[in-house]
């Protein structure tokens, strides 16, 4: 159904309802229909005032992101420009009341601010989230918002991108009043009250809250500090500040022109391309695979978890937070006591930070039932899903699955939280391999958004549909991946991690490598990540996966020695770094001396590295292995790899993920650099055939995805 604007008279008040499901985006056709409807109301002598609202569950969620994507990739003519529509609304001789429910975000709020008055349901949210896509409000939002809310509030909303409640919007001066239970009736009554007036307030003419250079200077400085904190390395928040500054210094029309210039600068940027790419990639990743149906998803109300360690207790917390009942067990009494204790401690932190109340925590804790293995065997038959969350040992996992297969009810899904091991080998010991799936949570499991859903050879589509629905219920992003060593995320992680270890043996230091990575935008450096995960865990996984079984390949020298010394990372207070504070890494001269001595004994002559060389080598290790994973079908799409690395491994969203980073760099240049590494470092840098093919044809990973989709 094409977008439309439905006009419904309420005596002398005309209600215009924007009907463009599912979110009433201002996609092509909507602004034109609205402009025509407003013009018709101007001509109708029987109309005294106009109410504009959205159909369905919200007012207007914003611009059509497809048009922004087109603009980011070169078609600037597609960039929304609603100046004429907003001017006609604001110049209306009949008052225009905007009735807001659900969300008024981005272009939706900009539309609302062009009206003379705004009334909102108490549950509504409003905001200018454009910076989350690498752009700024481009339809006069940076010019109207400070005129309504003042410079300080406008800066906070546009820099952080966080929405505010309708109650806060009233307090800020953005919304005039809250509606009753019936939004339309309240808006019509409001419109009747103001219909007789002659001086309807035009936002563009309100200058009393814009301050002056003296009062605004500290606010602008604070906003730049805020941008550096919450949107590190990103340019859009800084340009939003410049646009709001322009609102305070220039006329409305000149300010709008400056906003448009800044908006186009943003939309042309690689950061906008990257963030818009991630926006669409996440939505694509969450779709059901071919042959699966959402209707096939079975309800999951009770989850049983085997393993009460860090991962098991984190998964239990995530499930309890989602309102699910949890059975938690472990083979050792210490772990069975320690898991619930850790859960309570983490909830206490949430209370102290005012994220949860004591009653909310009490409700969640009441859903988690720690039981002995004996009681678990008798009670797990009620579970809809059983998740194994023990350490990475295939033989032990197989034994656990034999036992689970015997006690689980028919229809129960059996899942492993394995991060690397063969799901088919685990499923093979059960009588129900079609009901076995990998659910790879990321640590900390209660917080991290990513969930790799690993499809075994016999995993059915209804199990995948249930797993995706389960992920969504936990407010996580489920990504279906194929079975293979390390799946997608850890498959790429190993060459990235080993290359970092080779770099420090060749002359860099762990702190230099990590600093280069965080300056690039990674959430953490790779050595800090290794310490957080546990060097013993990495050692165990490497043995299980048979890495470096070929004696001719170069293998890291230092990692195993650190494990032998009991330097497991944060949990022992020493790893690649020293931890005088439990979470803060401090460079350790003893480790740096050990690296140099072992490298010298291995015949390695140290040299210096620039940060750019470090980053290039590590990022291209990810890219090359990513191309292999894509060609092998372990990843369904290049964009799935990007989503996994942004949401699970701290890759900066504003760079789009490893494979979009390669696209923006240019695959020809990427291939040339990898070939150079291949000449210098040998077989581990053999270029991936898919990368060679795409580069030789002048293609991109993005084009590869699109070709598969059509």
pLDDT score recorded for residue 294: 82
| Averaged pLDDT, 431-444 | 96
Two structure tokens written together for 348: 């206490």
Residues serving a catalytic function are 110, 130
| Averaged pLDDT, 104-124 | 98
Report the topology of domain 294-488: Rossmann fold (3.40.50)
pLDDT score recorded for residue 380: 94
| Averaged pLDDT, 93-111 | 97
- How far apart, in Å, are the Cα atoms of 94 and each of 43, 83, 187, 310, 370? 10, 19, 15, 62, 65
Q: Right CATH number for 4-268 from 3.90.226.10, 3.40.50.720, 3.40.80.10, 3.40.50.2300?
A: 3.90.226.10
Among 63-72, 194-203, 452-461, 694-703, name the one with the lowest average pLDDT: 194-203
Two structure tokens written together for 630: 């894509």
Task: State whether CATH 1.20.1300.10 applies to domain 490-633+636-709.
Answer: no
pLDDT at residue 3 is higher than 80: no
C-alpha angle 160/245/168, rounded to 5°? 45
pLDDT at residue 80 is higher than 90: no
Do the domains 294-488 and 4-268 match in fold?
no
Contact by Cβ (8 Å): 230, 193: no
- Please report, for the chain, the start and end positions of each structural domain, with discontinuous segments joined by +: 4-268, 294-488, 490-633+636-709
| Averaged pLDDT, 36-51 | 96
What gap in Å lies between CA 125 and CA 100, rounded to an integer?
A: 9
Residues 6+ apart with CB under 8 A from 390: 306, 307, 309, 312, 396, 397, 400
pLDDT score recorded for residue 546: 80
| Averaged pLDDT, 391-400 | 93
Give burial (CB, 10 Å; 0-12/13-18/19+) of 169: buried
Contact by Cβ (8 Å): 65, 58: no
Two structure tokens written together for 166: 């309708």
For residue 189, the surrounding DSSP H or E stretch is helix 183-195
What gap in Å lies between CA 72 and CA 516, rounded to an integer?
A: 28
| Averaged pLDDT, 91-112 | 97
What gap in Å lies between CA 11 and CA 490, rounded to an integer?
A: 64
pLDDT at residue 408 is higher than 70: yes
- Sheet containing 49-54: give its strands across: 4-10, 13-19, 49-54, 96-100, 117-120, 177-178
- How far apart, in Å, are the Cα atoms of 664 and each of 281, 538, 585, 656, 699? 16, 32, 33, 9, 12
- How far apart, in Å, are the Cα atoms of 113 and each of 19, 144, 150, 441? 19, 7, 14, 42
pLDDT score recorded for residue 132: 97
pTM of structure: 0.94
**What's the pLDDT tens digit per position in 230-283?**
999 999 999 999 999 999 999 999 999 999 999 999 999 999 999 999 999 999
Q: Band of the pLDDT at 164, cuts 50, 70, 90? A: very high
Average pLDDT, the chain: 95
C-alpha angle 497/581/557, rounded to 5°? 30
What gap in Å lies between CA 330 and CA 338, rounded to an integer?
A: 10
pLDDT at residue 199 is higher than 90: no
What gap in Å lies between CA 63 and CA 72, rounded to an integer?
A: 14
Contacts 24+ apart (CB under 8 A), 213-217: 213/248, 213/249, 215/151, 216/151, 216/245, 216/248
Rg of the chain taking only CA atoms, in angstroms = 28
**What's the pLDDT tens digit per position in 447-496?**
999 999 999 999 999 999 999 999 999 999 999 999 999 999 999 999 99
pLDDT at residue 1 is higher than 80: no
């Amino acid at each position: 159904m094409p977008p439309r604007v439905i006009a419904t008279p309420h005596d002398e008040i005309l209600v215009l309802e924007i009907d463009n499901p599912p979110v009433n985006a201002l996609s092509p056709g909507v602004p034109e229909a609205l402009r025509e409807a407003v013009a018709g109301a101007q001509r109708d002598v029987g109309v005294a005032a106009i109410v504009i609202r959205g159909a369905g569950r919200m007012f207007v969620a914003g611009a059509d992101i497809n048009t922004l994507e087109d603009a980011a990739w070169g078609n600037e003519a597609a960039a929304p420009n609603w100046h004429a529509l907003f001017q006609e609304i604001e110049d209306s001789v009949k008052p225009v009341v905007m009735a807001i429910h659900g969300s008024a975000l981005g272009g939706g709020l900009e539309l609302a601010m062009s009206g003379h008055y705004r009334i909102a349901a108490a549950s509504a949210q409003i905001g200018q989230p454009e910076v989350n896509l690498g752009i700024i409000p481009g339809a006069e939002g940076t010019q109207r918002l400070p005129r309504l809310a003042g410079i300080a509030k406008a800066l906070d909303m546009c820099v952080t991108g966080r929405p505010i409640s309708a109650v806060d919007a009233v307090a800020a001066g953005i919304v005039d009043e809250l509606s009753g239970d019936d939004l339309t009736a309240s808006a019509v009554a409001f419109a009747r009250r103001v219909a007789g007036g002659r001086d309807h307030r035009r936002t563009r003419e309100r200058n009393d809250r814009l301050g002056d250079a003296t009062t605004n200077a500290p606010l602008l400085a604070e906003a730049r500090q805020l941008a550096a904190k919450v949107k590190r390395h990103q340019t859009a928040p800084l340009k939003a500040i410049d646009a709001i500054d322009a609102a305070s210094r220039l006329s409305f029309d000149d300010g709008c022109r400056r906003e448009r210039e800044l908006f186009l600068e943003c939309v042309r940027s690689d950061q906008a391309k990257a963030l818009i790419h991630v926006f669409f990639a996440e939505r694509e990743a969450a779709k059901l695979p071919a042959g699966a149906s959402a209707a096939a998803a079975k309800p999951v109300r009770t989850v049983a978890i085997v393993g009460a360690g860090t991962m098991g207790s984190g998964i239990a917390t995530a499930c309890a937070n989602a309102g699910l009942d949890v059975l938690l067990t472990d083979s050792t009494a210490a772990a069975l006591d320690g898991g619930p204790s850790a859960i309570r401690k983490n909830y206490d932190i949430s209370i102290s930070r005012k994220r949860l109340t004591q009653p909310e925590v009490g409700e969640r804790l009441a859903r988690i039932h720690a039981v002995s293995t004996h009681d678990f065997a008798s009670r797990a038959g009620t579970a809809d899903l059983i998740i194994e969350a023990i350490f990475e040992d295939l033989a032990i996992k197989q034994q656990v699955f034999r036992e689970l297969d015997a006690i689980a009810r028919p229809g129960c899904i059996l899942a492993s939280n394995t991060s690397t091991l063969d799901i088919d080998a685990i499923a093979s010991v059960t009588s129900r391999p079609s009901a076995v799936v990998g659910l790879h949570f990321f640590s900390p499991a209660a917080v991290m958004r990513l969930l790799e859903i690993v499809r075994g050879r016999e995993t059915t589509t209804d199990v995948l549909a249930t797993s995706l629905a389960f992920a969504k219920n936990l407010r996580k992003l489920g990504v279906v991946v194929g079975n293979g060593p390390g799946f997608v995320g850890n498959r790429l992680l190993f060459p990235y991690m080993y290359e970092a270890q080779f770099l420090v043996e060749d002359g860099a230091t762990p702190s230099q490598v990590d600093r280069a990575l965080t300056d690039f935008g990674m959430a953490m450096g790779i050595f800090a990540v290794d310490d957080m995960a546990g060097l013993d865990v990495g050692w165990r996984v490497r043995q299980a996966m048979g890495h470096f079984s070929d004696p001719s390949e170069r293998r890291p020298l230092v990692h195993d020695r650190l494990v032998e010394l009991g330097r497991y990372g944060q949990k022992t207070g020493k790893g690649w770094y020293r931890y005088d504070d439990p979470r803060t890494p401090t460079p350790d001269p003893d480790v740096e001396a050990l690296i140099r001595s072992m490298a010298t004994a291995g015949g390695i002559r140290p040299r210096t590295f620039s940060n750019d060389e470090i980053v290039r080598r590590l990022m291209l290790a990810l890219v090359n292995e990513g191309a292999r994973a894509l060609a092998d079908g372990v990843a369904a799409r290049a964009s799935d790899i990007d989503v996994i690395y942004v949401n699970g491994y701290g890759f900066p969203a504003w760079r789009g993920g490893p494979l979009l980073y390669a696209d923006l760099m240019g695959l020809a240049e990427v291939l040339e650099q990898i070939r150079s590494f291949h000449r210098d470092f040998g077989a581990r840098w053999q270029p991936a055939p898919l990368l060679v093919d795409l580069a030789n044809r002048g293609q991109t990973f993005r084009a590869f995805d699109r070709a598969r989709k059509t």
